Structure 1
Amino acid sequence: MSIPKVSVEQVKAARALLRWSQGDLANRSGVSLPTIKRLEAATGEIGGRVDTANSIRAALESAGVQFIEENGGGPGVRLRNRLDPSVN
């Protein structure tokens, strides 16, 4: 099963919700800071290697971000309900 792709704009929005810098995302995802900067300088779907995009997405999701797919209103992000016991 493939993981739905996310956009650079969603990654930036997710970082803003978490109040993470690009360095924070690099540290938590295991992706180098220069790579994060290069990817975020683009627009559209995250480019580069699939493993890199998956690592970025996994880091943001483990911090509580939910990616919302295109559903007629446009893709987006939100934070999971902190009262949900499944949230770390």
Structure 2
Amino acid sequence: MSITASQFRAARAMLDWSPEKLGEAAGVDPADLASFESGQSGSDHQLNDKLRTALEKAGISFIDNNQTSAAGGPGLRLLKSPGEFDTDQSETVQYKEHLAPDAPTGAGG
């Protein structure tokens, strides 16, 4: 999947990262990053991979063109950290009648 310059700029904005911070995280010269984000450097796959890896480690998930809907274009999502999930099961209710299988194996659902 090829990431667009717009997606990289948006990912930096979601993380509130400066170009210098992303350059440091990816091991990339900020001048190369600026050229890449402006679309002047063409398609440098090695640079693209370094930036993508750094942003994904920081919690960004890139969405390919038309991946989630036919009307959608390329995008991204900021994933929640494990500490943000509600894992408190103290208010979870399990009814015995719903725990027993009620369909043949392989029926789905």
TM-score range normalised by the length of the shorter chain: 0.7 to 0.9
- Report the count of equivalent residues: 80
Please give the root-mean-square deviation of Cα atoms over the aligned residues, in Å: 2.0
TM-score, length-normalised on structure 1?
0.82
TM-score w.r.t. length of structure 2: 0.67
Separation (CA, whole Å) in 1 of partners of 2:38 and 2:22? 15
The amino acid across from 1:83 in the alignment is P
Structure 2 portions without partners, runs of 5+: 84-109
Residue in structure 1 matching 2:58, options 38, 41, 63: 63
Which of these two proteins has the greater Rg computed from alpha carbons? 2
What SS does the corresponding residue of 1:5 show, helix, strand or coil? coil
The higher relative CO (CA closer than 8 Å, separation ≥ 6) is in 1
Q: Structure 1: which 5+ runs fail to align?
A: none
Measured after TM superposition, the shift of residue 47 of structure 1 is 3.0
**Structure 1 residue 41: deviation in Å?**
1.4
AA at the equivalent of 2:36? L
The one-letter code sitting in structure 2 at the alignment partner of 1:13 is A
Task: Find the residue that maps to 2:39 and give its secondary structure.
Answer: coil
Report 1:45-60 matches (<5 A).
Answer: 47-60=42-55
Q: Which amino acid aligns with 1:66?
A: S
* Letter aligned with residue 53 of structure 2: A
User: Runs of 4+ in structure 1 displaced over 6 angstroms?
Assistant: none
Tell me how far 1:83 sits from its aligned partner.
Answer: 2.8
